[in-house]
Chains A and B, each alone.
Chain A
Amino acid sequence: MTTALLEMTGIVKEFPGVRALDGVDLEVRAGEVHCLLGQNGAGKSTLIKVLSGAHQPDEGVIVWQGEQVRLANPLAAMKLGIATIYQELDLVDGLSVAENIFLGHELASAGFSRQADAQKAAAELLARLGHPEISPRREVGRLSTAGKQIVSMARALSHDVKLIIMDEPSAVLDQEEVARLFTVIKDLTAGGVAVVYISHRLEEIRQVGDRVTVLKDGRTVATGLSARETPTSDLIRRMTGRDIEYVFPARSKVPQEAPVVLDVADLAAPGAFSGVSLSVRAGEIVGLAGLVGAGRSEVLETIYGARKASAGSVTVDGRRLRPGSVRAAVAAGVGLSPEERKSQGLLLDEAVYRNVSLATMTRFARGGFMNHANERRAAQKHTKALDVRPADISRAARTLSGGNQQKVVLARWLLRECRVLLLDEPTRGVDVGARSELYALIGRLADEGVAVVLVSSEVPEVLGLAHRVLVLREGRVVHTGPAEEIDEHQVLDLVMEGSAA
């Protein structure tokens, strides 16, 4: 009989004007992987912040190993053995792996750091996590995202940790890395450490989780569900009050006579990919599948001119684009919705309408002078059509949810009436309900004659939306064909092995 390591009961957290947590219960046992499910805004982030000591609950009781505790600050939580691995990893790029792991509790004698000891201890922790290949001397900034995540975990383990909270760790990893992460998690739990695992991806929860707690609107709506046996439909229904996972719009046929809008011939970028050819007709959606690092984003960036091609050509409406020029691509009617929405797509402190008009502002200017009324009206037309919420276009982009921020970026290119839309991971960090909405939107854009190239890590998304699918593996196209003629399993085989099983 396992006893509870952590028991949270009736947690309430109020922010001015909103009850973010409205009576949450959570019980975590030692050695289990406890999954936290809920849509964006359900209260997961707030709950984590309460648990890691960053927020103080207004009401409720936290019992840790049988004793009632108060987590006054992050240090207090850490001292009890609660560590949090945030989505945005909090590592210092300029320091070595070992220095990062022992940051804040350096091994030192009389103020001098004992580097050799630290490196040895770091190496042990990394080995324990199954990643002995990461050198403790390596500068963290040179590691991959997956590597950084391991360092974060090693840092957690360097404290005597009993509970690790992982906030969407897989969002930044490819499938292979996720598999390795799961091995690490299993080793940790076998050693008695409990893990609170947050993810949008249900299939992961099935693989790695033991029990599930579902949050909705700041309340616990279900707890102690079996992660492996609870039917997906059941989980989704509890999260959303709906019975469906993703709704893909039915694909309309692309007429044979539809003109080829985007034609990419034998494109190559050094160190990223080579020999990529694809053509997209008006109204067609072409999906690019592949692992992170297979060159998908790089292909989009090169088409867009943000990256210099070493060979090949990009043609839009029969006109060849000047290579390496974003401005040429934009002028020719190409739009990119980048992978990193916040750092590459948006001016977070600027108003929504200004974000929408960013690529089009000269249209609302005469002699350099902006006509704000026209600009707002035009932006509003598109945010309304895309149902951006809240509807107030003067709000800073920062205050919108991920799905709505994505719509703002799409609205930017709709306003420009672009002919080609390059979408890089359009649904990353977007909750399930908003995803279906985005899918419908992408389908509608294609119906209106836009040529769409879609990159997504989620194979069902590519298969569900695209007419044709290109599978990339290590910078080369290993498969091209209609989306209906291939299933998820085959794509995964191609992606991993390079051949359809």
Chain B
Amino acid sequence: MSERRTPPPAPAADEHQRVEAAAAEAGVAAPKSTVGRFMASSAGRNSGLVIALLVLCVVGLLTAGDRFANVNNILTILRLAAVIGVVSIGMTFVIIGGGIDLSVGAIVALASVWATTLATQQLAEDYHWIFMVLTALVVGTACGLINGSLIAYGRMAPFIMTLAMLAGARGLAEIISERRTQIIGVRDFVNFINGSLLGIPVLVWIFAVVAAIGWVLLNRTTFGRRTIAVGGNINAARLAGIAVKRHTVLLYTLLGLLCGVAAVMLMARTTTGSSTHGMLYELDAIAAVVIGGTLLTGGRGTIVGTIFGVLIFTTLTNVFTLNNLDTSTQNVAKGVIIVAAVLLQQRVAARSDSS
């Protein structure tokens, strides 16, 4: 039967090269210079971040000496990084999936308030402090679920939906707490979450575990693959039979859950629940994600980059604080770093796929 078909004409011997040439002609070939190629590789992209972090450490050493380079200070940096880090990991998924979430700080606040009401604390005293944790997680998850559902099924723009959640969740937190800071009286809770395990703060452990799970989720599972597909080309993902809407809901719900985790960590660190917790977390998280090399347009990003983004910010704050510089100066420096990082990223991107 097969001889009926005319076989496809044999391609010219150099066809392969011509295709390559066509690709190069369109300007999409791999970067040719060694530096360009290295910078475009994932190690290369992160190497810029490693260098930035090292520079910060050197500055810290030179200006603050031993006050910077001692175990306690390093642990302080890590403890500070842990809370915003957990939120940033979730934000990385949402942004790779083509979305954005402005409500993370407000969700943290609402979860912290809800988990520290008198009723919840009474429950914790009567049975186990885990109920406070569960409350925070449920509240965070629910907020994320609402965000995701309305974005996916209500076709709200993520920016608008989460802006509304920002206002609504923080408002609700104020109503519940009557704008008062709620002191946590459950000692076991604070002692455990704010304590240490094997010499390392539990907060840091939590961040490490979340980051590790995030890395595996993004790089080794269908969930991660779908996230990249949905953010990279939503039409192609839909036409390939991926449940795009359901996945969008999952992404925001995951971030909501992690906001709940962050709320628990913040509650333990400050021994309070408050409607002012998590102020501007959305900006810090988005900045960390973007500095880490994740494209705001979706479809590309790394967990490792985000971790570096968080560490760079936290170390910067620490170095500034050790030098008695105020937060205003810190904010200026943060702004400069964000711009510099994005400019650098664009140059790298231009090298790897310019036209």
Residues of A within 8 A of B (CB): 15-20, 39-43, 45-46, 217-218, 241-242, 244, 247-250, 252, 304, 306, 326-327, 329-331, 336, 338, 340, 343-350, 354, 358-359, 361-362, 365, 368-370, 389-390, 396, 398-401, 404, 412, 433, 436-437, 439-441, 443-444, 447
Contacts and interface: CB of A to CB of B under 8 A. Distances in A.
B35 interface: no
Given A359-B241, A398-B28, A437-B8, A370 B225 contact: yes
- Interface size grouping (class) on chain B: 35 or more
Q: Which of B5, B14, B28, B232 has the most CB of A within 10 A?
A: B5
B241 A326 contact: yes
A330 B241 contact: yes
A401 B9 contact: no
A45 B22 CA distance: 9
A280 to B, nearest CB: 20
Contacts of B353: 349, 398
B225 A343 contact: no
Interface stretch (B107-115, B148-156, B196-204, B216-224): B216-224
Contacts, number: 155
Nearest to A362: B222
B6 interface: yes
A389 B16 contact: yes
Nearest to A431: B22
Given A40-B22, A347-B233, A370 B9 contact: no
A2 B27 CA distance: 37
Contacts of A41: 18-19, 21-22, 25
A306 to B, nearest CB: 6
Contacts of A241: 12
Given A20-B21, A349-B232, A369-B220, A399 B28 contact: yes
Nearest to A20: B25
B9 A436 contact: yes
B24 A17 contact: yes
Q: Which of B12, B24, B236 has the most CB of A within 10 A?
A: B236
The 4 closest A-B pairs by CB, nearest first: A330-B241, A41-B22, A16-B32, A437-B8
Interface string B279-310: 00000000000000000000110000000000
Contact of A247 (B1, B8, B20, B223): B8
Interface string B8-50: 1101101111111111111111101100000000000000000
A4 to B, nearest CB: 26
B222 A365 contact: yes
Nearest to A367: B221
B242 A440 contact: no
6 contacts: A43-B25, A326-B239, A338-B235, A340-B235, A350-B228, A361-B225
Given A327-B243, A331-B241, A400 B225 contact: no
A440 B1 contact: no
Nearest to B225: A361
B299 A349 contact: yes
Nearest to A250: B4
A365 B221 contact: yes
B236 A46 contact: no
Contacts of A362: 222
A368 B238 contact: no
B52 interface: no
